[in-house]
Amino acid sequence: MRTFDDKGLSTRCVHAGEWGDASGSPQTPLYVTTTFAFPSTAALLDVVEGRKPGNLYTRYGLNPTIQALEEKLASLEGAESALAFTSGMAAETALFLAHGRGGIVCVGDAYGGTLELLTQQLPLLGIKTHLVLGHELQRLDELLAEGVRLVFFETPTNPTLEIFDIAELAARAHAHGALLAVDNTFASPVNQQPLAFGADLVMHSATKYLGGHSDLTAGALMSSKALLEPVNAWRKNLGSMPAPETCALLARSLRTLVVRVRQQTAAAQMIAEAMADHPRVARVLYPGLPDYPGHALAAKQMSGFGAMLTIDIDADAQGTVAVVDRLRLFTLAPSLGGVESLVTQPVTTTHHGMEAAERRRRGITDSMVRLSVGLEDADDLIADLRQALA
């Protein structure tokens, strides 16, 4: 067991993977170097041939700044091990190539890049991929019986905040010897820990809450050493290792992860409640609202309901654009999870390239507005939404 594994999440955020140095730094320093020197050929071969742990070459991840970050990342999801990547998509690509070659099924709606990778690119390599929406879950068992090896999903999903039962889907996958991987980007480890509910692997776009300041692009996978070993081989030769500078910046951000996400989550709840009562809002999609369809399930597997919400405005497409363009504190920009609140319309961003009929099938309307709640005062954010809706 690592030193901080029995401690609370905030303590792990601050202390896990902080190895200090000979000069007394309380943190792991930033090693801006691509290679590491050895006193002898024998010492070099000990590391190259795996007899001793050691630093070697930064692209292999054998750099203390990267390894320290990975120890912190693993600790946050209660995982044995973790791998850092240049982006969330790089993490997904390595995951799919290592564990999805026997077929992948993606349950529910997913990030646009994920859908593109699954439907446009992996099939070019002969990898069979399947998309199963929440109301088609009976197809999952058929696909598993046909030999699909990897089940992948987000919960809550983007942008409709659909909640999937991690424990139930893990049991279904495992009954057929398949693996279950969860994209935990929306919830963050503060609000949901999928490995504790039976998931085999957790993936993050660290660009979002883990980074938290809209100033770095990175990804992460957390799992057992055994499951990450083949993923690491792909990462190494795809070359999708983040720079030590990015790893140090991400470690810096993770030290404040819990306070950020708890505050953002509390503000999202206040905004969801205020919007639910607003006459120009037709529907609020937020798992923290008691009458939300996924509320009970979210309460079972999440420790907080997250800081992402979608409001369906009582307006046509043009009227919705007008509301979005009147917002002042919410910045119109893709992405999420940063300290500044962001607004997007699924039809103009994440689901822009999709046929209108397919969007309808996924429950995505022209009047939906997705909010990523930042660290501004909730009252100011509510006032901004009210003036834009007025």
CA atoms within 13 A on the CB side of 173: 27
Q: Supply the minimum distance, in Å, between the C-beta of residue 239 and ligand PLP.
A: 15
111 is catalytic: yes
Tell me which of 4, 31, 96, 111 binds ligand PLP, using CB under 6 A: 111
Q: Supply the minimum distance, in Å, between the C-beta of residue 3 and ligand PLP.
A: 29
Catalytic residue among 208, 235, 260, 359: 208
Q: Supply the minimum distance, in Å, between the C-beta of residue 90 and ligand PLP.
A: 7
89 binds ligand PLP (CB under 6 A): yes
Stretch that binds ligand PLP, among 165-173, 180-188, 232-240, 376-384 (CB under 6 A): 180-188
Q: What is the DSSP string of 181-231?
A: EEE-TTTHHHH--GGGGT-SEEEEETTTTTT-SS----EEEEE-HHHHHHH
Stretch that binds ligand PLP, among 3-11, 50-58, 200-208, 324-332 (CB under 6 A): 200-208
Own/partner pairs for 315-318, CB < 8 Å, 24+ apart?
A: 315/280, 315/367, 316/366, 316/367, 317/347, 317/366, 317/367
Cα–Cα dist 84/241, whole Å: 7
Residue with tokens 């919830």: 187
185 binds ligand PLP (CB under 6 A): yes
In the complex with ligand PLP, the residue whose CB is nearer, 111 or 286, is: 111
Minimal CB distance to ligand PLP: which residue? 88
Residues 215-234 that bind ligand PLP (CB under 6 A): 217, 219
> What is the x/- site pattern for ligand PLP, positions 45-84, by CB under 6 A?
----------------------------------------
Catalytic residue among 2, 59, 101, 139: 59
Q: Supply the minimum distance, in Å, between the C-beta of residue 110 and ligand PLP.
A: 7
Cα–Cα dist 106/129, whole Å: 8
Task: Sheet containing 281-285: give its strands across.
Answer: 281-285, 308-313, 368-372, 342-344, 331-332
In the complex with ligand PLP, the residue whose CB is nearer, 88 or 304, is: 88
Tell me which of 93, 155, 192, 207 binds ligand PLP, using CB under 6 A: 207
Task: List beta partners, residue 221.
Answer: 83, 203
Cα–Cα dist 69/90, whole Å: 17
208 is catalytic: yes
Cα–Cα dist 58/62, whole Å: 5
User: What number of chain residues touch ligand PLP (CB under 6 A)?
Assistant: 16
In the complex with ligand PLP, the residue whose CB is nearer, 114 or 129, is: 114
Cα–Cα dist 61/37, whole Å: 15
Residues 119-178 that bind ligand PLP (CB under 6 A): 154, 158
β-pairing verdict for 81-85 and 219-223:
antiparallel
Catalytic residue among 31, 109, 111, 260: 111
46 is catalytic: no
Classify residue 204 by burial, with Cβ atoms within 10 Å: 0-12, 13-18, 19+: buried
Contact 261, 304 (CB under 8 A): yes
- Active-site residue set: 59, 111, 183, 208
Q: Which residues bind ligand PLP (CB under 6 A)?
A: 87-89, 111, 113-114, 154, 158, 183, 185-186, 205, 207-208, 217, 219
